[in-house]
């Protein structure tokens, strides 16, 4: 019933012919179905958790529907939604998930391609095993004046896809977007059968620089 009421078409984006704009993809996100299923169950047993989940999911959906003229968004917004996704999954697993984050943002007001990081984070929860304390999922986000770098590493779960198809639909869309907007990017993934690693790097402008450019041309 939940799948029919809420089609899985709200989180994964694919590029259209312009390269800078993005439309809602035909394939959806398991996060949506998982979260709605959790909300349905929590409404019966823990209404406060259901309220929290609804607010977080609504925030994620609103962000996913936003559009920017240049296809960019503040990294701060992406990080905020990353936390929403993490907390939604922690609610689902009663805070038993083990995650280690390292965030080093050396430049304020940095912009990023939206949904890239969120797709990486969702991939961790979809295909990883985060219940082993000795092997927490690792999330690293680093920026400097020239580039932004995302890195994730997780213990592979039982439902992970075969290594030959490790990219999956969501990561394939990410790769296509990077190739379209940032030819000089890094997209690397590796699996030893136990862990899966993904690294993405691409140049990104600063919000102040774009603002000055728009004023100059106005």
pLDDT digits (tens, 9 = 90+) for 194-208: 999 999 999 976 655
Average pLDDT over residues 33-61: 77
pLDDT in tens, 51-93: 888 888 888 888 877 755 467 889 999 999 999 999 988 988 8
Please report the domains of the chain, with CATH numbers, ordered by start residue: 2-217 (3.30.565.10)
How many angstroms separate the Cα of 55 from the Cα of each of 12, 62, 85, 190? Answer: 20, 11, 12, 35
Average pLDDT over residues 142-156: 94
Confidence of residue 134 (pLDDT cuts 50, 70, 90): very high
For residue 83, what pLDDT is reported?
A: 95
Between these two residues, 169 and 9, which has the higher pLDDT value? 169
As a whole number of Å, the CA-based R_g of the chain is: 18
Q: Is 99 exposed, middle or buried (0-12, 13-18, 19+ CB in 10 A)?
A: middle
For residue 205, what pLDDT is reported?
A: 67
Decide: helix, strand or coil at residue 37.
helix
**Would the pLDDT of 100 be above 90?**
yes
Separation between Cα atoms, residue 91 and residue 86, nearest integer Å: 9
């Amino acid at each position: 019933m939940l799948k029919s009421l809420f089609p899985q078409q709200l989180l994964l984006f694919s590029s259209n012919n312009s390269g800078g704009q993005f439309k809602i993809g035909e394939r959806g996100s398991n996060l949506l179905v998982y979260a709605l299923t959790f909300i349905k169950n929590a409404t019966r047993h823990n209404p406060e958790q259901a309220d929290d989940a609804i607010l977080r999911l609504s925030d994620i959906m609103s962000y996913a529907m936003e559009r920017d003229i240049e296809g960019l968004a503040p990294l701060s917004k992406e990080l905020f939604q990353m936390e929403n996704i993490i907390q939604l999954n922690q609610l689902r697993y009663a805070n038993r998930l083990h995650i280690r984050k390292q965030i080093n943002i050396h430049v304020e007001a940095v912009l990023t391609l939206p949904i890239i990081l969120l797709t990486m984070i969702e991939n961790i929860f979809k295909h990883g095993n985060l219940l082993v304390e000795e092997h927490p999922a690792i999330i690293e986000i680093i920026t400097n004046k020239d580039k932004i770098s995302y890195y994730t590493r997780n213990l592979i779960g039982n439902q992970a896809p075969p290594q030959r198809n490790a990219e999956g639909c969501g990561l394939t869309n990410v790769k296509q977007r990077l190739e379209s907007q940032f030819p000089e990017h890094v997209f690397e993934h590796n699996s030893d059968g136990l862990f899966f690693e993904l690294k993405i790097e691409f140049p990104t402008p600063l919000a102040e620089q774009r603002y000055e450019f728009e004023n100059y041309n106005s």
